[in-house]
């Protein structure tokens, strides 16, 4: 018997938060997920969906707020879905993330009593993102810029997002003014007409410079000088204005077809003292302050010296590889995206690093080949995408018998699975930490050191 009914109201006390950020309450032992609540809240809810093992409730009223509740100052919070934990005090958010990691390691990985040694949060958990995308469209006949409502392409007007740079709101206003003053219509994805699709900005944490990219359905932007003028008077931090051409019927955020309208083609940022050149489409970590802390811990776990050889698998544009190369004998970086490997090689040259080589190939293909050919890294660093690594890659690593494996992960569930694979083959978890790279969201990054039982 399911003890809850659809379309009925209940008063419940939330007792936990799930890994996707919903509060959980129990009605006669039956779990009800309630978005935008936190444990300790006493709330009135409407049950909106009932499944065989759980239900979903909609928050109607907070009767007694939890002492973990924070005031929400973002006007878009309810419709955006980007910051699922914004209603929770930051310290409590960190506790929730630590629990998510520990639960995954214990339940999926079977590491009994596993505890993360530390979770590293931000001193100021706002305005951390160095890359923002604002779609542009007509809303009630007016050109507006904002974000897409959850699971839709309806634009909700919002010029400023609290996790991005404050300057974005000025940039967005300037672009709208340019469009209104010059009769430049926004792009309409239904009939594939109109011009401006979105504003995309990238900010350098180290220099403060900003790149503004206008994604548009044209090969030449009308009155582009007017756009350049208005943006240049908006802020002298803007050092690059780029047209990103996308005339196809798709919704790609960015294509590889860029025309520089004014200023530089790339902006520069630094991570752990290494300079990186960032083009509109480069992959670059979005929270450099926290990324540095994460990398420093990964490198500390790697215990590098001038005799250590390193293999950095899933290396992206070579950020970890190049930071490691300054401390190690040599580094091999492996990454599936060719363009990222080109950037990695460029970045190596720019920083006069000549003990790093890079291969553009899938890990599952090249790692076994390199190890078969006799590569014997002392330390393997891996930083896979959310789906984690795979048995071919992990088995090849085991074959090479590195002293240490430093696993950097953005998904505790796949980390737990892969760490179990390694733990069953001669490695044990000797250190672990978690990092909050995305405050107010449920995402969490981890670094785990796995050492060989044979020493």
Site residues for ligand SAH, 239-298, by CB under 6 A, read 283, 285
Site residues for ligand SAH, 201-220, by CB under 6 A, read none
First-last CA distance in the chain: 55
Kindly state the smallest distance separating residue 362's Cβ from ligand SAH, in Å.
Answer: 4
Kindly state the smallest distance separating residue 290's Cβ from ligand SAH, in Å.
Answer: 12
Taking CB positions, which residue lies at the least distance from ligand SAH? 316
Beta carbon nearer to ligand SAH, 27 or 360: 360
Considering only 34, 320, 397, 400, the residue that binds ligand SAH (CB under 6 A) is: 320
Is residue 445 a contact point for ligand SAH (CB under 6 A)? no
Considering only 3, 273, 385, 426, the residue that binds ligand SAH (CB under 6 A) is: 385
Beta carbon nearer to ligand SAH, 145 or 446: 446
Is residue 337 a contact point for ligand SAH (CB under 6 A)? yes
Beta carbon nearer to ligand SAH, 311 or 340: 340
Binding range to ligand SAH, per CB under 6 A, among 60-68, 115-123, 360-368, 397-405: 360-368
Considering only 102, 269, 281, 335, the residue that binds ligand SAH (CB under 6 A) is: 335
Considering only 18, 206, 326, 362, the residue that binds ligand SAH (CB under 6 A) is: 362
Tokens representing residue 215 in the block: 């994604």
Q: What residues form DSSP beta bridges with 427? A: 452
Considering only 343, 383, 418, 445, the residue that binds ligand SAH (CB under 6 A) is: 383
Catalytic entry in 80, 83, 410, 446:
410
Cα–Cα distance measured from residue 38 to residue 92, given in angstroms and rounded to the nearest whole number = 10
Kindly state the smallest distance separating residue 391's Cβ from ligand SAH, in Å.
Answer: 12
Kindly state the smallest distance separating residue 365's Cβ from ligand SAH, in Å.
Answer: 8
Considering only 324, 363, 379, 447, the residue that binds ligand SAH (CB under 6 A) is: 363
Kindly state the smallest distance separating residue 390's Cβ from ligand SAH, in Å.
Answer: 7
Is residue 418 a contact point for ligand SAH (CB under 6 A)? no
Site residues for ligand SAH, 22-41, by CB under 6 A, read none
Site residues for ligand SAH, 422-441, by CB under 6 A, read none
Task: Give 284's DSSP letter.
Answer: -
What is the length of the chain? 455
Cα–Cα distance measured from residue 136 to residue 253, given in angstroms and rounded to the nearest whole number = 12
Q: Which among 210, 209, 183 has a CA at the least distance from the CA of 199?
A: 210
Count of alpha carbons within 13 Å of 406, Cβ hemisphere only? 27
Binding range to ligand SAH, per CB under 6 A, among 17-25, 42-50, 197-205, 380-388: 380-388
Q: What residues form DSSP beta bridges with 120? A: 435
Beta carbon nearer to ligand SAH, 18 or 362: 362
CA dihedral 58, 61, 67, 72 (to 10 degrees): 80
Is residue 369 a contact point for ligand SAH (CB under 6 A)? no
Beta carbon nearer to ligand SAH, 277 or 364: 364
Is residue 319 a contact point for ligand SAH (CB under 6 A)? yes
Cα–Cα distance measured from residue 167 to residue 8, given in angstroms and rounded to the nearest whole number = 45
- R_g over Cα of the chain: 24
**Cβ pair 123, 280 in contact under 8 A:** no
Q: What residues form DSSP beta bridges with 132? A: 201
- CA separation (Å) from 45 to 27, 33, 150, 340? 12, 10, 21, 47
> What is the size of the binding site for ligand SAH (CB under 6 A)?
18
Is residue 336 a contact point for ligand SAH (CB under 6 A)? yes
Angle (CA) 177 179 181, round 5°: 65
Is residue 316 a contact point for ligand SAH (CB under 6 A)? yes
Beta carbon nearer to ligand SAH, 209 or 335: 335
Site residues for ligand SAH, 63-122, by CB under 6 A, read none
| Contacts for 382-385: CB closer than 8 Å, 24+ residues apart | 382/312, 382/313, 382/314, 382/406, 382/407, 382/408, 383/312, 383/313, 383/314, 383/315, 383/316, 383/320, 383/407, 383/408, 383/409, 384/313, 384/314, 384/409, 384/414, 384/418, 385/314, 385/410
Burial class (CB in 10 A: 0-12, 13-18, 19+), 312: buried
Q: Is 410 in the active site? A: yes
- CA separation (Å) from 436 to 94, 377, 395? 7, 29, 30
Give every CB contact of residue 260 below 8 A, 6+ residues apart in sequence: 240, 241, 242, 243
Kindly state the smallest distance separating residue 387's Cβ from ligand SAH, in Å.
Answer: 8
Considering only 211, 340, 379, 422, the residue that binds ligand SAH (CB under 6 A) is: 340
Which residues make up the interface to ligand SAH (CB under 6 A)? 283, 285, 314-316, 319-320, 334-337, 340, 362-364, 383-385
Active site residues: 410
């Amino acid at each position: 018997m399911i003890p809850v009914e659809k379309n009925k109201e209940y008063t419940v006390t939330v007792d936990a938060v799930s890994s996707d950020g919903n509060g959980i309450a129990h009605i006669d032992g039956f779990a009800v997920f309630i978005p935008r609540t936190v444990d300790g809240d006493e709330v009135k809810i409407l049950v909106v969906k009932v499944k065989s093992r759980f239900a979903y409730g909609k928050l109607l009223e907070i009767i007694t707020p939890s002492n973990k509740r924070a005031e929400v100052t973002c006007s878009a919070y309810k419709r955006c879905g980007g910051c699922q934990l914004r209603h929770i005090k930051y310290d409590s958010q960190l506790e929730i993330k630590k629990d998510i990691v520990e639960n995954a390691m214990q339940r999926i990985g079977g590491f009994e009593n596993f505890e993360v040694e530390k979770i590293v949060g931000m001193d100021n958990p706002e305005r951390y993102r160095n890359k923002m995308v604002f779609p542009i469209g007509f809303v009630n006949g007016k050109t507006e810029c904002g974000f897409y409502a959850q699971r839709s392409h309806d634009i909700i007007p919002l010029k400023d997002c609290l996790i991005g740079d404050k300057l974005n709101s000025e940039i967005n206003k300037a672009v709208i003014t340019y469009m209104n003053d010059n009769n430049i219509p926004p792009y309409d994805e239904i009939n594939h007409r109109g011009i401006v699709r979105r504003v995309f900005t990238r900010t350098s944490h180290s220099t403060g410079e900003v790149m503004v990219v206008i994604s548009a359905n044209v090969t030449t932007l009308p009155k582009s000088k007017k756009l350049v003028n208005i943006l240049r008077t908006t802020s002298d931090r803007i050092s690059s204005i780029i047209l990103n051409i996308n005339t196809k019927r798709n919704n790609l955020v960015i294509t590889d077809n860029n025309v520089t309208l004014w200023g530089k083609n790339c902006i520069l940022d630094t991570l752990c003292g290494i300079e990186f050149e960032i083009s509109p489409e480069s992959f670059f970590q979005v929270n450099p302050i926290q990324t540095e802390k994460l990398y420093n811990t990964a490198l500390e776990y790697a215990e590098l010296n001038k005799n250590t050889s390193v293999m950095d698998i899933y290396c992206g544009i070579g950020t970890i590889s190049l930071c490691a190369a300054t401390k190690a004998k040599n580094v091999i970086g492996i990454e599936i995206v060719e363009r990222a490997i080109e950037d990695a090689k460029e970045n190596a040259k720019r920083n006069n690093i000549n003990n790093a080589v890079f291969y553009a190939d899938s890990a599952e293909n090249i790692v076994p080949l390199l190890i078969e050919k006799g590569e014997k890294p002392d330390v393997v660093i891996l930083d896979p995408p959310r789906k984690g690594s795979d048995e071919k890659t992990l088995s090849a690593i085991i074959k090479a018998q590195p002293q240490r494996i430093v696993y950097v992960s953005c998904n505790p569930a796949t980390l737990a699975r892969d760490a179990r694979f390694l733990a069953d083959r001669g490695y044990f978890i000797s250190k672990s930490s978690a990092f909050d790279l995305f405050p107010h969201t449920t995402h969490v990054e981890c670094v785990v050191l796995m050492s060989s039982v044979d020493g």
